[in-house]
Amino acid sequence: MSRMALIHDIVESTRAQPARAGLSFASLSIGMAALVSLMAILGGVRQKTRLMIGELGVNVFGLVQQPASQLRAAHTLLSRRHADYLAANLPNAVVTGFRLEDSKSAGLPDGAVLIACDETLFKVRPWKIVQGRPFDAADIRDQTRCAIVSTALSQAMNLSVGHDISLHNMTFRVVGLAEIDAGSLETGDTQRMITPGNLLLLVPWSVPASWSTEPIPATTRIDSIFIKGSTPAPLDALMHRTETLMLQPDYAVEGLSWVTPQSLVHHLMQYQRRIMLAGGSIILLCLILGGLTLTSLLLTGVQTRVPEIGLRRALGASPADIGTLFMCEALLITLSATLVGTGGAWILLKLTLAWLPLPVQLGPAVIIIPLLSGIILGVVFSYWPARAAARISPSEALRNE
């Protein structure tokens, strides 16, 4: 009978003080919901960084320029000329450059990304052709109207190799399907170069500059250059050589970001620190507030329930039984608040995932850590009241009756 009776006691005692229990429950639920959100965002940031490192490819680094609107002079734009120059001067490396085009005006559906690239893209980035062929030098030189579609976009648009697609009123023939599972966690231009999402359409870079068959000048802007070393040796030497080349007066550009696995990890650490400082302090405050309300609830409970404690002792309860009762009452509140807060935040995050400006990852840790926190909070904040209740002398308690 004792386990069921304990549960019954706990529920009855909580019901006897609904306002205080509700206040504590609400504070803890909000705190737990915030904790879940913070963890989901931190998990999302970590996942995104892993994804970006994976998407960057093995032995690959990138040069990404800020958008043209943020640059001081037009002559400092990163262009095909730079990609060709680096390719010519880095014999042990493969160089690719690409540009993000306006997919909406091209007539692609929302979420799709249009990339103008060269024939070496698939040698540098870890994207695989699963059907058909990649672009070749002739496609670029001859401004062939061909396209490669990611498998996700091919399913969304019902396209396959040999099908035609219209972009800017020009017909492109799909020549290849590529496996690109880069997710869709991108939030900024630099990240979009690394993880452009999985709804991709690629065309030869020589076509979209003017969407015509006119010759394309080498000064045509590109957004990024990616370089892959031919050996698995550290990239330092190759990066140093690239840096030297890019400092040549004719090729110097401004607003260039170097994207390396290390820079991505550094970026993650900075991001995590900011989120932890901002979100963590609010959450801590919420949880401490909830915990203190819980302590106050239990202390008031101990004071008002002295005769009940006396009765329990008279009926054979040990001090440990009394302490356990109060601790279990606290645990009921913290655990139910944890479940409600966690569940609520989980559902809200799931529903708003598409609109959130931050990457979010909902994994088992997002459940387990708040649950453990709930247990720890329950034990820590009920320890003192439970100890006080257990220490009440039964004869003193019954005198108060």
Q: Measured from the CB of residue 301, what is the shortest distance to another protein in angstroms?
A: 13
Return the residues of window 236-295 that contact another protein according to CB under 8 A. Answer: none
DSSP tally for the chain: helices H, then strands E:
14, 10
Verify binding: residue 181, another protein, rule CB under 8 A: no
When binding is defined by CB under 8 A, the residue of 315, 351, 355, 364 that contacts another protein is 315
In sequence order, which residues have a C-beta less than 8 Å from that of residue 401 and are 6 or more positions away?
307, 310, 311
Q: Which two tokens stand for residue 61?
A: 């680094």
When binding is defined by CB under 8 A, the residue of 75, 318, 348, 368 that contacts another protein is 318
Verify binding: residue 43, another protein, rule CB under 8 A: no
Measured distance CA(247)–CA(239) in Å, rounded: 12
Verify binding: residue 394, another protein, rule CB under 8 A: yes
Verify binding: residue 352, another protein, rule CB under 8 A: no
Given a contact cutoff of 8 angstroms between Cβ atoms, the answer to whether 117 and 205 are in contact is: yes
- Measured from the CB atom, the residue of 2 and 169 that comes closer to another protein is 2
For residue 309, CA distances in Å to 14, 38, 187, 304, 312 come to 15, 41, 58, 10, 5
Verify binding: residue 321, another protein, rule CB under 8 A: yes
Return the residues of window 189-218 that contact another protein according to CB under 8 A. Answer: none
Q: Measured from the CB of residue 5, what is the shortest distance to another protein in angstroms?
A: 5
3-state secondary structure of 92: coil
When binding is defined by CB under 8 A, the residue of 2, 69, 158, 169 that contacts another protein is 2
Measured distance CA(268)–CA(9) in Å, rounded: 48
Verify binding: residue 401, another protein, rule CB under 8 A: yes
- Measured from the CB atom, the residue of 17 and 242 that comes closer to another protein is 17
When binding is defined by CB under 8 A, the residue of 111, 319, 343, 344 that contacts another protein is 319
What does DSSP say about strands 224-229 and 164-167: parallel, antiparallel, or unpaired? unpaired
Count, residues near another protein per rule CB under 8 A: 27
Q: List residues bridging with 1 in a β-sheet.
A: none
Binding span for another protein by CB under 8 A among 129-137, 201-209, 237-245, 311-319: 311-319
**Helix or strand run (H / E) with residue 131:** strand 128-132
Most distant CA atoms of the chain, gap in Å: 101
Closest CA to 265 of 52, 44, 42, 41: 52
Over the window 87 to 116, marking each residue x when it contacts another protein by CB under 8 A and - when it does not, the resulting string is ------------------------------
Q: Measured from the CB of residue 313, what is the shortest distance to another protein in angstroms?
A: 7
When binding is defined by CB under 8 A, the residue of 5, 74, 247, 354 that contacts another protein is 5
Closest CA to 298 of 325, 326, 328, 337: 326
* Residues at the interface with another protein (CB under 8 A): 1-2, 4-5, 9, 12, 15-16, 307-308, 310-319, 321, 393-395, 398-399, 401
